Amino acid sequence: MGKRVLLGFSGGVDSFYSAYLLREKSFDVHLIYFKLLKTANPERVRKSAELLKLPLTVIDLSDEFRKAVIDYFIRYYKLGLTPNPCAVCNREIKLKYLYRLMKELSFDFIATGHYARVVYVPEFRRNLISRGVDRRKEQSYFLSLVEREVFDSLLLPLGDFTKEEVVKRAKELGFEYRGESQDICFIPGEYTEFLKRFIKPRPGYFRLRDGTVLGRHKGLFYYTVGQRRGLGIPYKHSLYVLELLPEENAVVVGSKEEILKDEILVWKLNWHVKPEELVGREIEVQIRYRAKPVKVRELKYLNSDFYCVKLAAKVEAPAPGQVCAFYNGDLLIGGGEITREGAGRWKEA
């Protein structure tokens, strides 16, 4: 009690109620607003802080955000990959800089408004992230790339609440709720319109795996793996995007059966628990936010930090570039990136 905590504060309902809960538990709360865009106006943030009667510091990280998140987002679409800007932002910006500030200013904790929980797990002798109680909203998936050491100092006040409870209680405190924020904070409209400012659309061909050309596409970034609608290709059965190939500017399409996979390649693994500590434990993976977790049948380490993940059931359209989160029950035990690179070329270590 009385411990000092830096809370990442957006001025939205989740960070607002998180701050209130910590204050009510006698934490000495200091609000930190990271300005991620040059055009961002922190006026609403200041009003929320005033309502809470808590000190607020505004820090401009717009240059860092552009390099770490926006440039990454654009680069991945150029490569025919599907980026996950929220997971990368948590690792490279929000939690990274909160943690750094905590150390520099000698605070005791950091906190965010994520719907997840921090729990101490005796058998692993460390803090880990666990799923939040609101299964429709819980956000542990987006924390899978964050370095585990951060969790020793992290508070997640909303993990035991539902979104509905948070909104209701925040309104009772005088908070003006304006609904959910947009999916990608730096894109106000369609992401394809945003990308057109940086990537010149290059029309190419739709083709089957056997090379049969079926028509022309508008440009790779208009399509994602697993997409069915909007292809505009007349065919004897429904077609789905199987793969994006920037090296030949082709969109490979095929049947529903062809997008179902029981084996995926994952790299850039960020383990919260060492793999050797997981021997004998049931592991599940989640290949996108809100996707149903699937049991892992076998986890094979390949050279150069690649893992071949063999699944007990098929998953639909694992997209290269997306985050693959690993769980043991409700415990988040790590995360990595789904990739097509190295497929068929990497030998087992």
Burial of 115 (0-12, 13-18, 19+ CB in 10 A): buried
Judge whether 175 is annotated as a binding position. no
Judge whether 226 is annotated as a binding position. no
DSSP string, 12-33: SHHHHHHHHHHHHTT-EEEEEE
Closest CA to 217 of 201, 206, 229: 206
> How far apart, in whole angstroms, are the C-alpha atoms of residue 174 and residue 248?
56
Judge whether 280 is annotated as a binding position. no
DSSP state of 136: T
Judge whether 159 is annotated as a binding position. no
User: CA–CA distance from 197 to each of 36, 84, 218, 250, 299 (Å)?
Assistant: 19, 20, 15, 21, 41
Judge whether 186 is annotated as a binding position. no
Judge whether 11 is annotated as a binding position. yes
Pairing mode, strands 56-60 and 250-254: unpaired
Closest CA to 303 of 265, 332, 260: 265
Judge whether 80 is annotated as a binding position. no
Catalytic positions, please? 89, 185
Half-sphere exposure of 210 (CA within 13 A, CB side): 2
> How far apart, in whole angstroms, are the C-alpha atoms of residue 326 and residue 106?
32
User: CA–CA distance from 71 to each of 18, 74, 221, 223, 319 (Å)?
Assistant: 30, 5, 15, 19, 19
DSSP state of 91: I
Judge whether 255 is annotated as a binding position. no
Judge whether 8 is annotated as a binding position. yes
Judge whether 60 is annotated as a binding position. no
Rounded to the nearest 10°, the torsion over CA 335, 339, 344, 349 is -30
Residues tagged in the binding site annotation: 8-15, 34, 113
Binding residues for ATP: 8-15, 34, 113
